[in-house]
């Protein structure tokens, strides 16, 4: 099954753990990541100084964080459609981290 490929073109911190992410098709998403910051990898991003270290990778146009965490740009692009699934995954990540 094909899935669209999007590139992140901009990122702006707009609130605590919330980013405004721009994509190469001209659309934007404002994403509050707090519901999915669980588990070993993503849970570390609850530390605001680490979360605020997000950047755009200039080669692959994703949003990596200094600890190696990232999300598929297609997931970010369609975040409202994926949010419930991401929350479910985050609960699993939380269980495996303990």
pLDDT of residue 94: 79
- pLDDT tens for 4-60 read 899 999 999 999 999 999 999 999 999 999 999 999 999 999 999 999 999 999 999
Rounded CA-CA distance 34/12 in Å is 16
- More confidently predicted of 89 and 69: 69
Domain that holds residue 76: 8-97
Give a yes or no: residue 42 inside a domain.
Answer: yes
Would the pLDDT of 73 be above 70? yes
pLDDT of residue 90: 83
Total domains, the chain: 1
Is residue 30 in a domain?
yes
User: DSSP state, 31?
Assistant: E
For residue 96, pLDDT over 80 is answered with no
Report helix, strand and coil shares of the chain as percent, to nearest 5.
40, 20, 40
2 is a domain residue? no
Would you say residue 65 lies in a domain? yes
* pTM of the model as a whole: 0.89
Residue 88 placed within a domain:
yes
């Amino acid at each position: 099954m094909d899935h669209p490929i999007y590139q992140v073109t901009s990122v702006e911190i707009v609130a605590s753990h919330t980013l405004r992410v721009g994509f190469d098709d001209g659309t934007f998403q404002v994403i509050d990541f707090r519901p999915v910051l669980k588990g070993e990898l993503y849970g570390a991003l609850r530390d605001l100084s680490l979360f605020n270290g997000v950047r755009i990778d200039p080669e692959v146009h994703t949003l990596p964080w200094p600890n190696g965490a990232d999300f598929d740009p297609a997931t970010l692009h369609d975040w409202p459609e994926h949010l419930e699934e991401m929350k479910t995954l985050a609960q699993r990540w939380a269980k495996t981290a303990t």
